Amino acid sequence: MGELDNENPGSRPHSVDRYGEPDERTRLLGHHGVSGQPPLDIDDPAVTPLNLWSIRFLRYFTLLFFAIACAWWLILLVTTFVNPPGMHSRGGGWFAFGFTSLAIGITMLLLFSFTVPSRAEEVVQSVIAVLLLVDMIIIISVPELMAEEGWIGLGSSIFVLFVTVWAVLVDRSVEWGKKEEEERLTGRAETRRSLKEWCSVLSAITIMVIFLAISIMFTGTLSLRAYDHSLKVPGKRIWVDDHSYKVHLYCTSKHHNETREGVTVFLEGGERAVGNGLLDWGHENYVNGIIGRLCYWDRPGYGFSDVAPSPLSAGMAADALSEALAKADEKGPFILVSHGIGSIYSRIFASRHGKAIKGLMLIDPLHEKYLPKVASPGRGFFMWFRGVISPLGLEVLFNAIFKSRSREDRIYGRSSYLNPRLIKAKLQESLAANTFSKSEIATSRAILARDIPLVVISSGEGVKRDSEWDEAQREMTGVTDNLVDWDIVNKAPHKVWETEKGWDVMSRRISKLVDLVVQRLEVEEE
């Protein structure tokens, strides 16, 4: 016994040295690690699930999916400004961009915390996957939404759903691999986490919760869009530009006033759709018999119209209107009534249809010298950024829940500025304003018939506030050589019809213009 007591301590098994005296839980056969080597410490960098080829395989594929997501994101970014053939989204393409951005975020986070899986993270990812599945079902089940998103939006939603499910499966696999390697190299599976691992897990969970909030807002916004498509479209939606997209055109039936029904008053909206106020004025005058026949359309991206392929200039939009009118068999003659920037489109359209245009009424029109402001980089970036965040529906959801905003409000009413299609249309307008549109309006000014009767109605507030705007309105009275009236409506805002005096002035002037055109047509027939 004494010989045993005097035995060199170094000759005792390594497991006894490291773990203390043997007890009832001590292995009968000592663990010798890899190839007979002693077990490693749990914090040793060699203890990693990446030792397994299957786990490395999963990481390589995750890197591949991340690269695919980044490449697709760049393609979508380019198509925001220029649409190659087959890469056009009639709804604006913002949701496809949002889905792809979410896919990039999820794969980045997966790579960041690859070797530190977390059950909480898996649960959040699973909830996100369910929400994304709901998004995909909404897109597929609503025909109008499917038409707007197209294969680009649907493909992007499927891809981000796949990536999210992949992340859940990878976390589970890495968790298994981590346990296997810890048991193989250290003799036991570690249940504790180091401070570094806790920081990684908490960071990942925090970011994943943000992704969850984004997914919830995506689903809410898509649900609202699906609901909005249940609103009945007045008139027709007509294919234009070789079946690239549809524009909305509405014309009233013939009026009981046979004298005036031979002239069609055509409304062109300004910064918003015609349905945002101007149509109310036009419809009242139609009911009262002042207007014999009334038509209006929504420019691409406005109201009920789809987004056109990029780039889109004012002249291209005018061509789309020409095609829509031809397909609807609407030949005129027309009196064009336009507001704000809509006057740019109306003047270009009038210059290309001289015989059919019998009168112009411009309501606080935008002069072409303001096109550089429309094309300013700051405005363009603001529209692009607003489009990027539009799938979140921050203000749209708030207005729908707390302000009871309706479908009409979101499509052509007071909340329409948040509509993703209108945002894309504004971005297109900004991109083409100082190049294509500027050239087209200059050409139209030169070729527009000089004898067309012209009425200009200006905002009193705008003229009083800005001398440059006052001068621009004065110059607009020279668009043709046949100025019938120029009215400056005192205290009227840009939307002149919003004041009682502005409404009355517009009604009197359109009545006078219709009478004048009817008389000229009667003389021409004789």
The mean per-residue pLDDT over the stretch 360-387 comes to 96
What are the residue ranges spanned by the domains of the chain?
A: 49-228, 236-376+415-525
Q: Which residues pair with 251 in a beta bridge?
A: 295
Q: What is the pLDDT of residue 12?
A: 44
**Which residues sit opposite 487 in a β-bridge?**
457
pLDDT of residue 3: 43
Decide: residue 95, CB within 10 A, 0-12 exposed, 13-18 middle, 19+ buried: buried
**Type of residue at 276:** N
pLDDT over 60 at 201, yes or no = yes
For residue 7, what pLDDT band results from cuts at 50, 70 and 90?
A: very low
What's the pLDDT band for 62 if we cut at 50, 70, 90? very high
**Spatial separation of the C-alpha atoms in residues 259 and 514, rounded to whole Å:** 10
Altogether, the residues listed in the chain come to a count of 526
As a whole number, mean pLDDT of residues 419-431 equals 96
d(CA 259, CA 525): 14
| Encoded tokens for 168 | 């859940």
Residue 130: other Cβ atoms inside 10 A: 14
- Residue reference for tokens 């392929």: 309
| Helix ranges restricted to H, 229-274 | none
Residue-wise burial string across 227-241, b where 16 or more C-beta atoms lie within 10 A, e elsewhere: ebbeeebebbbbebb
Check pLDDT > 60 for residue 315: yes
* Cis, peptide link before residue 234, omega less than 30° from 0: no
Find the mean pLDDT for residues 256-267.
77
Pair of tokens at residue 93: 């393409």
Helix 119-141 to helix 143-186 angle (10° resolution) is 160
User: Is residue 200 predicted with pLDDT exceeding 60?
Assistant: yes
**Residue, of 180 and 326, whose pLDDT is higher:** 326
pLDDT at 520: 84
| Per-residue confidence band for 50, with pLDDT thresholds at 50, 70 and 90 | low
Half-sphere exposure (Cβ direction) of 116: Cα atoms closer than 13 Å: 19
Q: Work out the burial of residue 521: count CB atoms within 10 Å of its CB; fewer than 13 is exposed, 13-18 middle, 19 or more buried.
A: middle
Average pLDDT over residues 103-120: 88
Across residues 308-326, what is the average pLDDT? 96
Bridge partner list, 315? none
Q: What is the pLDDT of residue 505?
A: 96
Q: Is the pLDDT of residue 152 over 70?
A: yes
| pLDDT score of 64 more than 80 | yes
CATH architecture of 236-376+415-525: 3-Layer(aba) Sandwich (3.40)
**pLDDT tens digits, residue range 13-24?**
444 444 456 665
Q: Are strands 334-339 and 293-298 parallel, antiparallel or unpaired?
A: unpaired
Residue 219 above 70 pLDDT? yes
SS3 content of the chain, % helix, strand, coil (to 5): 60, 10, 30
CB 158 within 8 A of CB 136: yes
Question: Do the Cβ atoms of 481 and 471 come closer than 8 Å?
Answer: no
Looking at residue 9, its pLDDT comes to 44
In whole angstroms, give the CA distance from residue 118 to residue 220: 28
What one-character DSSP code corresponds to residue 457? E
pTM, full prediction: 0.86
Q: With 80 as the cut, is the pLDDT of residue 489 above it? A: yes
pLDDT tens digits, one per residue of 167-199: 999 988 887 766 665 555 565 556 666 667 778
Distance CA 249, CA 235 (A): 6
